Amino acid sequence: MTTHRRQRRRFLRQLGHALGGAAASRALPGATIALLSGAPTGVAADEIHRREIPDTDETIPAIGMGTYVTFNVGPDQAMRDQLTEVLETFFDMGGSMIDSSPMYGTAEAVLGDCLERLDDTEGMFSATKVWTRSTSEGREQIEDSLNLWGIEEFDLMQIHNLVNWEAHLETIRARRDAGEIRYTGITTSHGRRHDSLERIMRDEPLDFVQLTYNVLDREVEQRLLPLAQERGIAVIANRPFRRGRMFDRVEGKPLPDWAPEYGIDNWAQFFLKFIISHPAITCAIPATSRPEHMRENMGAMRGPLPDEDTRRAMITYLEEV
């Protein structure tokens, strides 16, 4: 039964894609998917927000999934079972983009194991990284990652934290030209190396950048996000919850009165909706090891998004609590 429900949901989602990306997603609101598939209506009460990859006709859901820490669980079977449930929830609720890295210990191996247990991962947008100073090791890492994920090609290959980026970019471009990778990207986190990233974004043709952006870390609004829009580069926002520390800040604090107007039922959705309402952001990638948190995260893809005034109110509210 579970399998059939999942396949039906997947079929409906794929139908949405086939009908024309973002426009079709609006034509097939989440409530309809929920009604037909039995998904919880509490979070599927509106359409799924998708974002266009600049200069393409392709769209991806505005909420993806990170794997840092959460999927680095080694051989522990109980934890892997729970992560398989997380992954199943992710796909069931319209998720697509998954991001990982060889730097994350066993995360890619665990992810591959969990994906293998799911009988249908069609529509997944796979993103990983190269993370080594050695150019030849970088080539091997891409092969290793393919094997660990159990897939034949990556949608997006990024250079982790700009490490040896010139050489790795050459490797990735060669593989893209050979049809083995679809998009190229480069990443940084927690504000380091923004100047270098800006230079690369100006000088190199990139499809994606990944950087830290959340309601408290907004430095990238000044230069990097406008530059990404100007250069037609998709943006993945990492650390949307500051590795969970933002929840400590708001523990026991109420959401603002106006939150329900934007379909915000919890703090995860408050944080995520702030991020994906920025016009330059393509996708946010929260990480979790708990299915109930995944449901909360994916709920941020539904309902109205805050406008500019509301975004300012969100910042003010968070600074005051």
Query: For 66, phi and psi rounded to 5 degrees?
Result: -90, 165
Q: Nearer to other proteins by C-beta: 218 or 242?
A: 242
Shortest spacing between CB 237 and other proteins, in angstroms: 17
Which is nearest to 258 in space by CA: 298, 294, 320, 304? Answer: 304
Shortest spacing between CB 268 and other proteins, in angstroms: 18
Q: Nearer to other proteins by C-beta: 277 or 288?
A: 288
Q: Which residues pair with 234 in a beta bridge?
A: 208
Subset of residues 103 to 142 that bind other proteins, contact rule: CB under 8 A: 103-107
Shortest spacing between CB 245 and other proteins, in angstroms: 10
The Cβ of residue 169 has, within 10 Å, a number of other Cβ atoms equal to 20
Subset of residues 78 to 97 that bind other proteins, contact rule: CB under 8 A: 79
The stretch near other proteins (CB under 8 A) out of 13-21, 28-36, 87-95, 100-108 is 100-108
Shortest spacing between CB 195 and other proteins, in angstroms: 21
Shortest spacing between CB 107 and other proteins, in angstroms: 8
Residue 151, token pair as written in the block: 């897939």
Shortest spacing between CB 76 and other proteins, in angstroms: 5
Number of residues near other proteins (by CB under 8 A): 16
Show the binding pattern over residues 222-261: x = contacts other proteins (CB under 8 A), - = does not. Answer: ---------------------x------------------
Q: Nearer to other proteins by C-beta: 111 or 228?
A: 111
Shortest spacing between CB 102 and other proteins, in angstroms: 9
Could you tell me which residues come within 8 angstroms of residue 74 by beta carbon, excluding any fewer than 6 positions away? 105, 106, 110
Distances in Å between the alpha carbon of 24 and those of 29, 131, 214, 262, 277? 9, 37, 28, 22, 20
**Sole binder of other proteins in the list 52, 204, 289, 315 (CB under 8 A):** 289
Which is nearest to 187 in space by CA: 201, 176, 203? Answer: 201
Burial of 60 (0-12, 13-18, 19+ CB in 10 A): buried
Q: Nearer to other proteins by C-beta: 107 or 111?
A: 107
Distance CA 288, CA 68 (A): 9
Helix segments in 129-164, DSSP class H = 135-149
Q: Nearer to other proteins by C-beta: 72 or 121?
A: 72
Q: Nearer to other proteins by C-beta: 2 or 77?
A: 77
Subset of residues 196 to 225 that bind other proteins, contact rule: CB under 8 A: none
Subset of residues 51 to 80 that bind other proteins, contact rule: CB under 8 A: 68-70, 72-76, 79
Distance CA 111, CA 71 (A): 7
Which is nearest to 65 in space by CA: 46, 81, 83? Answer: 83
Q: Nearer to other proteins by C-beta: 7 or 106?
A: 106
Could you tell me which residues come within 8 angstroms of residue 29 by beta carbon, excluding any fewer than 6 positions away? 46, 47, 48
Contact 296, 268 (CB under 8 A): yes
Rg of the chain on CA atoms, in Å: 19
Q: Nearer to other proteins by C-beta: 88 or 108?
A: 108
Shortest spacing between CB 306 and other proteins, in angstroms: 30
Question: Which residues make up the interface to other proteins (CB under 8 A)?
Answer: 68-70, 72-76, 79, 103-107, 243, 289
